[in-house]
Amino acid sequence: MPSKLVRRPIQLALVKRVIGLARHKIDPFDPRSGIDVLAVPNQLIFRGGKTKGEVKHAKPKAIPRAYVPLAPADTQGLWDLSRAIPDEWLFQRVAQEDLRIVCLTNVPKAELARLQACASQVQPSSCSVRSVTVEKASHIREADVLAVGVAFECRALRELKRRWLDEVVDPSLRLAYNPQPFFDAYTTLALIHSRSFKQQAKALVREREKDVVKKTFQMINLYHRDEFHQVTIIPLGIKPGTTTTTSSSSSSRPRSVASSGGSRSKYSTRTAAGDIDEED
């Protein structure tokens, strides 16, 4: 029997979102797409005997990733830079509360134990802003879009990525885990229309980069958000078994996971919600 579209407002909204992505030639299932919550097919179409109730209550999957959330005070310089980008340049802007230091993507719940094992062998360290970048958003196919982002230097995340990727042989899988191989970690500030504003964007970055470069955050915990929106806090340098897990259905966010300066502060176990990424 042919599949039927779910004719309910929330499902129709998801259909419209997917159609909107298609217009811009964005693959919503590309881990570098910048779309954090995906409208997966089973949420839109009856398949495999799913009932209306199952579809109605199914939650869209998220891109699983390992990251370090930033407290609002810590993102202020990054947000100021993002807000300096004129609205007419924009394809998409990342919200301030969604700015975070992304280390690895496509790390599903099934691989959480390996991530914990890698993190247990890495000691906490500081993270600093290395540079502000303007580069082609390769995940947006046949569209002229640039990503304005921030690259980070972080000994702990660099060591974590090395340990994780040492066990991965397939080059395409390595890229899926590590879409920014030239940086220890990365966050996207905004996507802009390249053809009209490329030179202006580069000039703006040169002018404003000094305001954020070398800004330092102290990192103690790594966060993992799986495809089911479950968030696990992983302390660095501590054996697995002492992590705290919480559901991302909560509207609250961590007060501080990466804090400015060199002091070590107490860390909240409250949940981080989704981000763009991741880009995500």
Asked if the structure places residue 279 within a domain, the reply is: no
Backbone angles phi, psi at 14, to 5 degrees: -65, -40
Q: What is the DSSP track for 186-241?
A: EEEEEEEEHHHHHHHHHHHHHHHGGGTTT-EEEE-EEEEE-TTSEEEEEETTS-TT
Q: 134 and 16, same structural domain?
A: no
pLDDT computed for residue 16 by the predictor: 52
Q: 198 and 164, same structural domain?
A: yes
pLDDT computed for residue 54 by the predictor: 43
pTM exceeds cut of 0.95? no
Q: 119 and 94, same structural domain?
A: yes
The DSSP output letter for 254 is -
> Rounded CA gap, 39 and 32, in Å?
15
> Rounded CA gap, 126 and 124, in Å?
7
pLDDT computed for residue 11 by the predictor: 53
Q: 236 and 98, same structural domain?
A: yes
> Rounded CA gap, 104 and 87, in Å?
30
> Rounded CA gap, 251 and 270, in Å?
9
> Rounded CA gap, 235 and 131, in Å?
27
CATH number of the domain to which 122 belongs: 3.90.1140.10
Q: 154 and 103, same structural domain?
A: yes
Q: 41 and 71, same structural domain?
A: no
Q: 82 and 30, same structural domain?
A: no
- Between helices 155-165 and 112-120, what is the axis angle to 10°? 130
Q: 245 and 158, same structural domain?
A: yes
> Rounded CA gap, 262 and 88, in Å?
38
H/E stretch holding 132 reads strand 125-136
> Rounded CA gap, 30 and 106, in Å?
10
pLDDT computed for residue 236 by the predictor: 94
Residue 52: give the domain boundaries. 9-57
**pLDDT in tens for each of the 280 residues of the chain?**
444 444 454 455 555 555 554 554 444 444 444 434 333 333 333 333 344 444 444 567 888 999 998 877 778 788 889 999 999 999 999 888 888 899 999 999 999 999 999 999 999 999 999 999 998 887 777 678 899 999 999 999 999 999 999 999 999 999 999 988 999 999 999 999 887 898 999 999 999 888 888 888 888 899 999 999 999 999 999 887 654 455 444 333 444 345 444 433 333 333 333 333 334 4
> Rounded CA gap, 22 and 227, in Å?
22
Asked if the structure places residue 273 within a domain, the reply is: no
> Rounded CA gap, 272 and 232, in Å?
10
Instruction: Please list, in sequence order, all residues whose beta carbon lies within 8 angstroms of the beta carbon of residue 121, skipping any fewer than 6 positions away.
Output: 159, 163, 237
Q: 252 and 117, same structural domain?
A: yes
Q: 17 and 87, same structural domain?
A: no
What total number of domains does the chain contain? 2
Q: 102 and 170, same structural domain?
A: yes
In contact, 259 and 101? CB cutoff 8 Å:
no
Residue 2 CA neighbour count, 13 Å, CB half: 2
Q: Which residues pair with 66 in a beta bridge?
A: 104, 224
Q: 185 and 82, same structural domain?
A: yes
